[in-house]
Amino acid sequence: MFVVFGVTGHTGKVVANTLLAKGKRVRVVVRDAKKGDEWQKRGAEVAVAHVEDAAAVERALAGAEGAYLLQPPDAQTTEFLARGRRIVDAFKRAIPASRVKHVVYLSSIGAQHPSGTGPIQSLYPAEQELPAAAPDTRFTFVRAAYFMENLAGSLPLMQAQGVLPVWGGGEGYSFPMVATQDIGETVAEALLSPPSAHKQIVELAGPAEYSFADAARAFGAALGRTVTATPMPLEGMVPALQQVGLSADVASQFRQMTEGAQKGLMAWEGGSARALRGKLTLDDFAKRASQQ
């Protein structure tokens, strides 16, 4: 039995679909029971739990040989880091109590740094504390690169004005990106092949490094128009993100992440980590995103 959190999001959906396609028993975890109906029709068990409720998480994990856990995004929270702390604390209680054998946890590039990385810094305590709290559980932390899906958030602006905003500049700088399809497939593979070590780090990127200029070219080709990666002053980032629905706190975290990237914090740690590459190219992702 494999337990999958986050099935209403990009990565968890892929994990559950992949495992079901392989004939595995799957229990999906949702906050709203109605969102589990489609999964139940496909043969999955459904558990209802909130990630901050340790007792509910423990029940959801009961009897599992492996589980996919993550800290679900909340664009409207006014206490991003405190919320992340509560989620980690709940997992610290639930994982050892449930005796789940293997946990695959969605982490991020830059999670080796305790601060200066915006929303990513909420993942640092998860990587540091969960293995210590659950010595009988093996852990795989998938440090994913920058989500290609983040680029699709600017799709309306690219369609209407041919502009891909690049906060703080650096539009020609190439860095790791990855599609959530590749993340989900990597997680499913990790669940099916648990490590022998107590803890392993997987650093996951797409098939190549890309720049925002590359992204503008890819989306321009997909949309059939010219798209330009346009540098924007960092001072305007928080107000702009608030205009599209993010809270001031979350928007500020993303600004700090951008500043952290400019300082070189959004980089792989290397060392004993496993470096993996996904399959979906930026060009193919842009085509898919533009057709949705």
pLDDT value at residue 225:
97
Q: What's the CA angle centered on 135, arms 193 and 130, to 5 degrees?
A: 85
Distances (CA, A) of 4 to 64, 121, 265: 10, 23, 30
pLDDT value at residue 39:
96
Task: Tell me the pLDDT tens digit for each residue of 161-198.
Answer: 999 999 999 999 999 999 999 999 999 999 999 999 99
In the chain, what are the domain boundaries?
2-146+178-206+267-279
How many Cβ atoms are within 10 Å of 76's Cβ, its own excluded? 10
pLDDT value at residue 6:
96
Task: Tell me the pLDDT tens digit for each residue of 270-290.
Answer: 999 999 999 999 999 999 999
d(CA 286, CA 168): 23
pLDDT range class, residue 199, cuts 50, 70, 90 = very high
pLDDT range class, residue 292, cuts 50, 70, 90 = confident
102-108 and 138-144 strand pairing: parallel
The tokens of 4 are what? Answer: 């999958």
Backbone φ and ψ for 141, nearest 5 degrees, come out as -100, 115
CATH number of 2-146+178-206+267-279: 3.40.50.720
pLDDT value at residue 68:
98
Task: Tell me the pLDDT tens digit for each residue of 147-167.
Answer: 999 999 999 999 999 999 999
pLDDT of 145 > 90? The answer is: yes
